[in-house]
Structure 1
Amino acid sequence: MAAAWAAVAVMLLLARVSAADPVTGPAFLWAPNNYGFSSDETKEIVHYQTVSPKSLAKSVLEEGGWSNLVCSEEDREKSVDVAVLFLGSKLQSSDISRDKQVDPTLTDTLKNSFTSSEFSMAFPYVAMSDDEKLEKSLLSGFAENCNNGLGDNHITYTDTCSVSEDLKKHHDMDSIDELVTSQIEKNPSGKTELVVFCGGGFKDLDQTKSEGELLSELVTLLKKSGAKYTILYASQPYGLLENPSNLPLGRYLAEKTNTTKPGRGKCDGECLVKSTLLEGSFVGIVLLIILISGLKCMMGIDTPSKFEAPPES
């Protein structure tokens, strides 16, 4: 009985922990060459701590060398032509170790780029929130950790990004190709172009193209152009509640299964309350069973009402 009680307690503890854990997505930073990002060769460095998107932005600036690319500084020599912030939505942190991937092209591209580059860093656990889009969190993180902000740095976006309509946007891959070509032809002292590639790529894109195919096509384009480039891939999984008010009354626990519809994976406040009540009910039932069993055992003990006198010697 004691062993069964211990097993139930462990299961309840694991259920509570899994319901409270945030949805995490991985991030990868790489450059084919170490363009002066660090004095020593930095290759395949992995940070296993769970970080927020803004902490990720700070690490990318300080450890990843992007402070020399996106922060406003005068008289700075350009070391990289193009920096790409590629925002995905397919990978969760738990997907990295799985044999069967949702998007094999994506994982293969990330793996090959990460291992074959001179400069590469990985952040397997980036805690996501449904309060803000990932591109806004990262860009605001860059601005907060740059001494002079982003200033008048050149930042362009794909047309799926949720930014002001007045900003320059790319409507296809050819537009990015033209940008890269113009950057190579500019004076070396020119500023690095930051391209924010949001999920889905382009609005008019053929929907048959996967996220992995888009990333692979972008990497191939940059390699063929001969440009000096660096890429930060970060994923904001669909396991977050996007429009809670539009969801049905059914509640779902933290981790979605293969048959769960994307976007219904997070356990909100009401779900946590109900799960806590359910846990309490289980504990009460187990304690009641223990109490009844103990009473029955005690009632089964039959002692004589009197004892015979010892025989006289």
Structure 2
Amino acid sequence: MLSPSSSAKRSRSRFAIPAVAYSATPVKLFANISEKHPSATVTQKAPSAIAQRLPDPKSTERTQRFREFELDGRVYVVTGGAQGLGLGLAEAVVEAGGHVYCLDVQGKPNETFLDTQQRLAQCYGATLHYRQVDVQHAEQLETVISAIGEKHSRMDGLIAAAAIQRVEPALTYPPEQMTKMMNVNYGGVYYSAVACARQMIKYKTAGSMLLVGSMSGLNANKGLTSSVYNSSKAAVIQLGRSLAMEWGQIIDGKAIRVNVLSPGNIMTPMVEQNFKDDPSLKETWERANMMGRLSEVREYRGAALFMLSDASSFMTGSNLVIDGGYTAW
């Protein structure tokens, strides 16, 4: 673990840019005119809003670039964070300075998580933690998230990425499996958001939530019989709008912002299993979007950071679709 002082130094260096100076003293424009007409001296205009934020050129302090994206000291919960998209987005939050708690049903995180945790601890002043939680159970989520909030006396947001998938024709879909999928993919998102919101209200830390939907909530994927999965993601998109409305002015007139990120086809362990079950599916999906390829987890990091940070401070109730043009045909 890095000390607070070393953390601050790393934060400054991560986004530091050289100081830029401006002159506040009168200057002479068009010297030849001024020499003939001394009254033609022109005074420089007051510095712009951008210039006013620049440091004193004599100061040893350095300014930061894109400070709106900084998450230093903030606390976030990521469900489904043991692997795949959840872990990839959690990593981005830690790199931006956030303290992240990954919640997943697995008894312990896999090697990928542990490798990521060790690497981040060595490079950044933030932290990555793991807690075993089944998002189907509201009481478990409430207990764990409440303890996180109490430890830090704050809660700044959520990435709700926990989800499962079952490829099955509707005519043979087992009723108990439909119930389980809706409990995880929709209920888990709902319970996670409510538990985090309670902590955000308790500690008066208005922040942002990112609910992971899918382009599958907007259309039927070619070659994939997953009616229940698609329906669960459509429900998440609608949930984002509804919670954004409820929590738009809930903390002393400030918002808990709620937005949905709807990815296209991503190379994750879940999708790799789809390709094992149906080898022809990969080519079908590649042809289905405008870029002719599948996405990778890293291509959603910037969007997540934008949606959680102050860079999107006037954004709520939105659904950001990143699908390589799949739904734009």
TM-score, normalising length: structure 1: 0.25
Q: Which has the higher contact order (CA 8 A, sep 6+)?
A: 1
**Bigger fraction of residues in helix:** 2
